[in-house]
Structure 1
Amino acid sequence: MKIILFSDVHANLPAFERALEEIDKLIPDAIYCLGDLVGYHVFPNEVINKIRERRIPTIAGNHDAKVRKLTEAQLSEFGKNYAYSIIGEQEKQFLTTLPSHIRVDFELNEDIFRILMVHGSPYSNEEYLLENKDESDFINIFKEAGADILCFGHSHKPYHRVLCETIDDKTRFYHAINVGSVGKPKDGNPQGGFVVLHIHKNSGNLYEESIQVQFIRFDYDINLSTQAIENSPLPNELIKMLEQAY
């Protein structure tokens, strides 16, 4: 099975349209969005409506949740809040109905493994699960969440980390997958990115050989994206952040 996972579009329509082109080429079996459709850019409604048109299951990121918390006074301020003030009423309603997580269970090789998709962490859409997190603390998160594979975004820095523990001579593997960012990378590479999660049935170890994670990076017309910011009330510092990916 081929599953597409992406996150943190942040209203960057030129990047999102290119991502969808790349995704369509891969002919996936399923597509999931891990949140943050809005913020930092001028195309929130277009991004939201493309998600809805394609019926892509989506969870709420911290920026999506922020929309319902902003006051009228805050929305009227220039600066970064402009990105939220232009969201339409129907689009706001959609954001307020997004779930906090998605679970998918697979029975494979006579075993069951559980995928949990969140935006930040199982506890909060604002918590960062960084690659250098203490291993024992990370494993505890998997146990408490009841997950074998944990997929998330939020930090905009993609990675795949395999953790393991051995109890009574039996080794259990856990996969932590940060899917990166479609529209606002922060790893020094301005290319957009998403993940292809491959699930195979084989006679090997379920948690090692049955799971493959492929990171896709793609170019898009970043000038088209930065010009839209330059022609808007958004701060020009966002242009540099896109160009230098921080």
Structure 2
Amino acid sequence: MKVALFSDVHANIFAFEAMLMDMDSQKPDAVYCLGDLVGYHIYPNEVIDEIRRRGIATLKGNHDEKVENIITTPESLSEPGKKYAYHLIREDNREYLKTLPGHIRLENKLNNEKLNLVFAHGSTRSIDEYILIDTDAGYVLEMLKEANADMLFVGHSHKPYHRILETRDGRFKHVINLGAVGKPKDGNPDGCYVILHLNAESSTTNKNSIEIEFRRVEYDVEASAKAIENSLLPKEFADALRLAN
């Protein structure tokens, strides 16, 4: 079984379309989005419309949550600044963002063993908590136990990694950060998403039985950056795409 997961599109339609083309070529059996469809760019409606058209199960990210406190007026649509990215969102898409869930949980049964997958934007404890590759192992294991998760998939930091932690009873837990489709921060401007490969032998007792494939996708970074520079958004948002920081 192939499961595609992505996060942090941040209204970057250039990166999103390139990622979707690559993802479709992989023919995944299921697709999930871990949030932050909006913010930092000028194409939130195009991104949300495609997510909805495809019926992709999607979580609420911290930037999606910000929409709940944004009041748009005719004047705000002509004011430069960071909030301009949120003022662009249509009302029907705002309502969609407001109703997105905080977590998704899947229970697979393989080899007479349950394999619990949990998806969160930041963490299972907070939408804007960073779970990094070097976050204290004891803290992460405690969180996994609390969430009854064998595999935890997150976004938010925009820095991809696959970390395997061993429990006291000799089982292996996996934490996977998907990186970011539309705003990488790991020095590589290419969009990033993940394909999870599960098979009949996948188990918590064999750390190598679960394959995580990070796919990097080139897109026209310069065209995307120029679109920001020609808008009312801060110009540093364009530089952040070029530098992937």
TM-score category, normalised to shorter length: over 0.9
Partner in structure 2 of residue 23 of structure 1: 23
Give RMSD over aligned pairs. Answer: 1.4
Kept after mapping to 1: 8 A contact 2:11/2:47: yes
Distance 1:237 1:35 in 2: 23
Alignment of 1:34-49 (within 5 A): 34-49=34-49
Distance 2:72 2:219 in 1: 34
Alignment of 1:51-130 (within 5 A): 51-72=51-72, 76=76, 77-130=79-132
The Cα shift of 1:224 comes to 1.6
Post-superposition Cα deviations, 1:14-35, rounded to whole Å, max 9, x if no partner, equal 1000000000000000000000
The Cα shift of 1:134 comes to 1.0
Give me the identity figure in percent: 51
TM-score, normalised to structure 1's length? Answer: 0.95
Partner in structure 2 of residue 152 of structure 1: 154
The Cα shift of 1:84 comes to 0.3
Distance 2:202 2:229 in 1: 55
Kept after mapping to 2: 8 A contact 1:13/1:47: yes
Distance 2:107 2:183 in 1: 30
Distance 2:193 2:72 in 1: 34
For structure 1, the residue ranges without an aligned partner over 5 or more in a row are none
Alignment of 1:190-209 (within 5 A): 190-202=189-201, 206-209=205-208
3-state SS of paired residue (2:58): coil
Taking a change above 3 Å as real, the CA distance of residues 193 and 204 of structure 1, as seen in their structure-2 partners, is: closer
Partner in structure 2 of residue 188 of structure 1: 187
Taking a change above 3 Å as real, the CA distance of residues 70 and 108 of structure 1, as seen in their structure-2 partners, is: same
Kept after mapping to 1: 8 A contact 2:150/2:204: no
Partner in structure 2 of residue 218 of structure 1: 217
Kept after mapping to 1: 8 A contact 2:5/2:34: yes
Distance 2:122 2:228 in 1: 26
3-state SS of paired residue (1:67): helix
3-state SS of paired residue (1:166): coil
Kept after mapping to 2: 8 A contact 1:67/1:84: yes
Partner in structure 2 of residue 3 of structure 1: 3
The Cα shift of 1:209 comes to 3.4
Distance 1:204 1:117 in 2: 18
Kept after mapping to 2: 8 A contact 1:109/1:206: no
The Cα shift of 1:202 comes to 2.2
Count of residues paired in the alignment = 242
Alignment of 1:219-234 (within 5 A): 219-234=218-233
Distance 1:203 1:236 in 2: 46
Post-superposition Cα deviations, 1:31-66, rounded to whole Å, max 9, x if no partner, equal 000000000000000000000000000000000000
Kept after mapping to 1: 8 A contact 2:110/2:203: no
Kept after mapping to 2: 8 A contact 1:174/1:207: no
The Cα shift of 1:78 comes to 2.3
For structure 2, the residue ranges without an aligned partner over 5 or more in a row are none
Kept after mapping to 1: 8 A contact 2:41/2:85: yes
The Cα shift of 1:109 comes to 1.0
Distance 2:221 2:145 in 1: 41
3-state SS of paired residue (2:194): strand
Taking a change above 3 Å as real, the CA distance of residues 105 and 44 of structure 1, as seen in their structure-2 partners, is: same
